Structure 1
Amino acid sequence: MTRPILTRLLVTLTGATALAISASAPAHFQELIPAVEIVTIKSGNPVVLQLQFTHPMERGPAMDMGKPARFGVLGPAGQEDLLASLTAREVEGKQAYAAEYRVKQPGDHVFFVEPAPYWEPAEGVMIVHYTKVVVDAFGAGEGWDAEVGLPVEIVPLTRPYGLWTGNLFSGIVKQSGQPVPFAEIEVEWRNDGSVTPPADAFITQVVKADSNGVFHYAMPRAGWWGFAALLEGETPMKNPEGKEVPVEAGALIWVRARDMN
């Protein structure tokens, strides 16, 4: 298993049962996808963002999103609360969200969301994926590595926009502001329907950070790539039945690669 929480939950199961459960547990990814990753005069303003909880490489199924606990942007003027800008929408009959943000000045804007906890009975955990994406405005090129200060966070070491297909993306996984040695990172491409994975192992790529929490991944195709470091939350939560259960605290970042045409 690529998920440390699942590994701990499965240790009491027999081999055959554990394999069956692990094979049926596809990776969940919180999406936070802007219409453009670089705002220019031609691209227009405002920035439109789509929020969805889904399985990006498999193009679903979508899962219901409760109203996020936090949604905001860290930009040139500091941190701004955007929770009131969210509007509900439906994807495959499941609740999702969208938002618009009008850029007010040049600079890099780190959009982030803390979604409502999601109960996953198949894994026995509450899932909270702290997700962010960086949008550059008018070529300022500053602030893309700013830390929001989320409980778990991927801080980019590669500028996360202006990337060609095949570029190497690097980041550092942090929890409570400190690097996480040897963290596992799941990687998925947001499938546009043009690729059918030949086996389950191709759906979710897995890389491991080094002793300093640093990881690297070369993006082989144009489009949006999600990087998710799945860590165990420091404090258990209660599931819908009122029982205390572990928390999967995911640190996610979305990065776009473009073909060199």
Structure 2
Amino acid sequence: MTLRTTIFAAGVAAALPMAASAHFLLNFTEQAVIETPGEIPVKLIFWHPMDNGQVMDLAMPREFYMIHNGERTDLLDTLEPAVFQGAENTGEAFRGSVPIRRSGDYVLVTVPEPYYEESEDIYIQQIARVFLNRNGLPTDWDGIMGLPAEIQPLNRPYNVLVGSTFTGRVLSNGEPVAGAEIEIEYMASEPDIAVSATTEPTVAAPAGGTLIAISDANGYFTFGIPTAGWWGFAALGVGPETGFDGRELSQDAVIWIHATELE
């Protein structure tokens, strides 16, 4: 168990009964499978999407880019500040765009500035990825990018079927992490990009708190997908950097996948 998890659990037991979901950095697009080429809108939000909870202020990311056919394209200059309206509060977010023209995979990567979480007295840096595809041609989805913290998908993350499973591998600088704690969260409230606000939740947060998986000796974990939509996985504190500005840093790996029903 990470120090972050220990501190958070103690805080919840003492004073935070409402905290049933986790921090998640979203690289949100309305679709994972892109039918029409063009500039695809994306919203970067630091949020509690499972229970439509608190929105945290997001600073301008250190990096925001895409990988397509093995080539990196910087997208940082597409970002503009945008206030996001959650159910509980508003928070600083960003809107941007992704140029999708050709067939294949488009891996969006956000490397944010560390966020100070006052309730835990630590910094959190979630290196987040989401995977888009056009025309069903697989090109980049299963590659290891060598990020400080990442989750390598073992199933195509943009067309997981409800009732099947998703398997990922937790990596730190490309090496597997055994015993990593992975928080799992369903995006119960998908953002409305046009108005930069939350929508009504489609499901309630699960009893018992945040869903958790633990990676095995080789860094693998598997989760059964019960319903359609966006699912996030956050491997806590797996990155090599453990401190920032004199405090503990939890350098997390985040991946978002999209599940659909078989029709």
After TM superposition, is the score higher than 0.5?
A: yes
Give the C-alpha shift of residue 149 in structure 1. Answer: 2.2
Other-structure match for 1:224 = 230
Which ranges in structure 1 are unaligned for 5 or more consecutive residues?
A: 239-243
Q: Which amino acid aligns with 1:256?
A: H
Q: Deviations over 1:144-196 (max 9, x none)?
A: 11223211000101111122212211010001211001211110000031212
Q: Which amino acid aligns with 1:197?
A: A
**Structure 2 residue 55 is the aligned partner of structure 1 residue 62:** yes
Give the C-alpha shift of residue 198 in structure 1. Answer: 5.4
Other-structure match for 1:20 = 14
Q: Secondary structure at the match of 1:6?
A: helix
Matched ranges for 1:70-89 at <5 A: 70-76=63-69, 78-89=71-82
Other-structure match for 2:33 = 38
Give the C-alpha shift of residue 138 in structure 1. Answer: 2.1
Matched ranges for 1:11-160 at <5 A: 19-20=13-14, 23=17, 26-40=21-35, 43-76=36-69, 78-92=71-85, 93-160=90-157
Q: Which amino acid aligns with 2:171?
A: K
Give the C-alpha shift of residue 219 in structure 1. Answer: 1.1
Counterpart contact for 2:27–2:42, Cα < 8 Å: yes
Other-structure match for 2:248 = 246
Q: 2:204 aligns with which of 196, 209, 216?
A: 196
Superposition RMSD on alpha carbons, in Å? Answer: 2.1
Which ranges in structure 2 are unaligned for 5 or more consecutive residues?
A: 190-200
Q: Secondary structure at the match of 2:95?
A: strand
Q: Secondary structure at the match of 2:13?
A: helix
How many residues end up aligned between the 2 structures? 246
**Structure 2 residue 237 is the aligned partner of structure 1 residue 237:** no
Give the C-alpha shift of residue 234 in structure 1. Answer: 2.5
Range 77-86 or range 245-254, more displaced: 77-86
**Structure 2 residue 212 is the aligned partner of structure 1 residue 206:** yes
The runs of at least 4 consecutive aligned structure 1 residues that moved more than 4 Å come to: 7-11, 21-26
Give the C-alpha shift of residue 223 in structure 1. Answer: 0.7
d(CA) in 2 for partners of 1:28, 1:200: 17
Counterpart contact for 2:145–2:174, Cα < 8 Å: no
Q: Deviations over 1:64-103 (max 9, x none)?
A: 1000010001111511111101121111231111111221
Counterpart contact for 1:74–1:148, Cα < 8 Å: no
d(CA) in 1 for partners of 2:150, 2:122: 19
Change in CA separation of 1:22 and 1:177 when aligned onto 2, cut-off 3 Å: farther
Give the C-alpha shift of residue 60 in structure 1. Answer: 2.0
Counterpart contact for 1:127–1:250, Cα < 8 Å: yes
